[in-house]
């Protein structure tokens, strides 16, 4: 099989980045605001400066961690038919955007603070869309407990979708509660470790710092068999130098440091190499999602991940990120960015449903993005070059000057070989043109959302498990 891919680094560049990364980890080190994590690293061979809470990680520890990494990973759905496995040679598995702080109201169009009911609706829509493979918490549930967003999000998602859910924890205590909650659904912690129905994104604080709650949650998840996505979020010119080479090295260092921590906590713990690094707008100081440098960084660090044999989540997708309302932003650079990140060597990606530089979310945008991704992902599909795929006998039978429209092979194979949307979807694509009727496209998406919310029913969770989910959430709230 062959696929269309984009590479930025040469083999020599890859080794140079690796060498510079080892230099950063050994000489600059990483700040880790957790005595438990520092103690574990020191016993594993790192040099620890307890006064400044920094660890200096030698090359042999990195090599040892990389050897222990599982080179294949499965993010399981609550239903086995919705499992997704990496490495993936074709188009990446796609998820929603994450943790927006507001939503555009489906009925009024007015932006408002997002609530738990909004997250539930978004999860229901995600559950119904074939182009979405797994789910992030697209909005923040502001009516949930501030100290337990990850646990609250998981409680909602477990009941609103049977797809794999990817959340976050801010402490080891919250991580443990999340493990117990998911275990109640699958039938115990051993079964959860065998089939992890959720995973987590745990972000270092760029540059080169690990916050106490997050790193201790990482250790707890590693010991429980929950996949940890170590998402570096470097901002070139702010939290990394204004140099793509140095930004790539910092991203690589943060991921490798996270891998060392996970593998010390439990050898063979499932991990994913990740980056959502971009640049800042030098005029405003705001993050610039969709910058060309973000796509280049994503492609480069994906190559680094493959050097270590790690499953990969980089880049993002969305044709509404530059707008503040549902629709398609008429920005050619945004479309180019989306295609470039699609071509990077990543197994997983995210970003559907976000607007306003990921600060907001929209149900209509989620549907529109899903439709467009369904088409754009075709460029990364597997293409077979086996002998039988060349169809020499067919070419010979038709001969020079002929055509293949009326031969049986075309009718039998056109839907397998070509992206052919049904008429309703084809009509939608006409409205998605940059010169098309945006109001019509958004209105059609709104009607589809209404229909989904009125009719779609996710696979139900066992009633006893639902009670246990609520009990765990209530107990955590009291304890916190």
Instruction: Pick the range with the lowest mean pLDDT from 316-325, 351-360, 404-413.
Output: 316-325
Task: Report the 10 Å Cβ neighbour count for 474.
Answer: 10
Question: How far is residue 358's CA from residue 329's CA, in Å, rounded to a whole number?
Answer: 14
Residue from 31, 77, 82 nearest 57 by CA? 31
350 part of a folded domain: yes
Instruction: Pick the range with the lowest mean pLDDT from 100-114, 234-248, 262-276, 312-326.
Output: 312-326
Q: Which run of H or of E encompasses 424?
A: helix 423-431
Note whether 291 and 409 are same-domain residues. Answer: no
Contacts of 329 (CB under 8 A, 6+ apart): 319, 320, 321, 322, 323
403 part of a folded domain: yes
342 part of a folded domain: yes
Note whether 392 and 372 are same-domain residues. Answer: no
pLDDT tens, residue by residue, 47-102: 999 999 999 999 999 999 999 999 999 999 999 999 999 999 888 999 999 999 99
Note whether 327 and 394 are same-domain residues. Answer: no
Q: Are 315 and 298 a contacting pair, CB within 8 Å?
A: yes
49 part of a folded domain: no
15 part of a folded domain: no
Note whether 264 and 402 are same-domain residues. Answer: no
Note whether 291 and 323 are same-domain residues. Answer: yes
461 part of a folded domain: no
Residue from 434, 389, 382 nearest 409 by CA? 389
What CATH number does the domain containing 205 carry?
Answer: 3.20.20.480
Higher pLDDT, 436 or 325: 325
Note whether 300 and 402 are same-domain residues. Answer: no
Residue from 296, 206, 326, 223 nearest 257 by CA? 206
Label residue 1 by pLDDT band (50, 70, 90). low
pLDDT tens, residue by residue, 293-310: 888 899 999 999 999 999
231 part of a folded domain: yes
Note whether 377 and 391 are same-domain residues. Answer: no
Note whether 268 and 374 are same-domain residues. Answer: yes
Note whether 394 and 335 are same-domain residues. Answer: no
Note whether 286 and 333 are same-domain residues. Answer: yes
35 part of a folded domain: no
Note whether 359 and 400 are same-domain residues. Answer: no
Number of domains in the chain: 2
Note whether 215 and 286 are same-domain residues. Answer: yes
Check pLDDT > 70 for residue 318: no
Q: Residue 211 is part of which domain span?
A: 67-381+468-472
- Read off the pTM: 0.92
């Amino acid at each position: 099989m062959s696929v269309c891919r984009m590479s930025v680094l040469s083999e020599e560049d890859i080794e140079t980045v690796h060498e510079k990364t080892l230099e950063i980890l050994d000489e600059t080190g990483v700040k880790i605001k957790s005595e438990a994590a520092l103690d574990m690293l020191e016993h594993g061979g790192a040099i620890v400066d307890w006064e400044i809470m920094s660890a200096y990680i030698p090359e042999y520890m990195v090599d040892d961690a990389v050897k222990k990494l599982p080179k294949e990973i499965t993010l399981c759905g609550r239903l086995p038919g919705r499992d997704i496995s990496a490495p993936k040679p074709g188009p990446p598995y796609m998820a929603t955007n994450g943790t927006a702080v507001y939503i555009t109201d489906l009925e009024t169009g007015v932006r408002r603070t997002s609530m738990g009911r909004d997250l539930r609706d978004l999860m229901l829509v995600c559950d119904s869309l074939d182009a979405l493979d797994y789910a992030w918490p697209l909005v923040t549930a502001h009516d949930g407990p501030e100290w337990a967003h990850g646990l609250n999000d998981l409680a909602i998602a477990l009941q609103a979708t049977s797809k794999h859910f990817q959340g976050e924890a801010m402490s080891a205590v919250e991580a443990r509660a999340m493990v117990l909650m998911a275990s109640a659904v699958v039938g115990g912690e051993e079964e959860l470790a065998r089939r992890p129905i959720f995973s987590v994104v745990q972000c270092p604080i760029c540059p080169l710092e690990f916050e106490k709650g997050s790193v201790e949650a990482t250790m707890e998840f590693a010991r429980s068999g929950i996949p940890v996505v170590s998402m570096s979020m470097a901002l070139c010119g702010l939290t990394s130098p204004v140099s793509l080479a140095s930004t790539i090295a910092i991203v690589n260092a943060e991921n490798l440091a996270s891998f060392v921590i996970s593998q010390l906590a439990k050898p063979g713990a499932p991990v994913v190499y990740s980056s959502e690094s971009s640049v800042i707008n030098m005029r405003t100081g705001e993050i610039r999602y969709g910058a060309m440098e973000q796509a280049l960084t994503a492609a480069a660090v994906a190559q680094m991940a493959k050097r270590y044999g790690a499953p990969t989540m980089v880049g993002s997708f969305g044709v509404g990120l530059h707008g503040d309302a549902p629709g398609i932003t008429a920005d050619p650079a945004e479309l180019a960015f989306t295609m470039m990140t699609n071509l990077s060597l990543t197994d997983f990606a995210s970003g559907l449903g976000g607007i306003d530089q990921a600060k907001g979310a929209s149900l209509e945008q989620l549907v529109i993005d899903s439709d467009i991704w369904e088409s754009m992902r075709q460029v990364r599909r597997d293409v077979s070059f086996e002998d039988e795929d060349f169809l020499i006998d067919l070419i010979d039978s038709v001969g020079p000057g002929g055509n293949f429209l009326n031969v049986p092979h075309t009718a039998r194979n056109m839907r397998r070989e070509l992206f052919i949307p049904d008429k309703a979807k084809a009509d939608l694509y006409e409205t998605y043109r940059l010169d098309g009727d945006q109001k019509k496209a958004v209105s059609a998406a709104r009607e589809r959302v209404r229909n989904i919310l009125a009719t779609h029913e996710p696979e139900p969770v066992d009633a006893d498990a639902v009670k246990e989910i609520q009990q765990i959430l209530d107990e955590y709230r009291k304890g916190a």
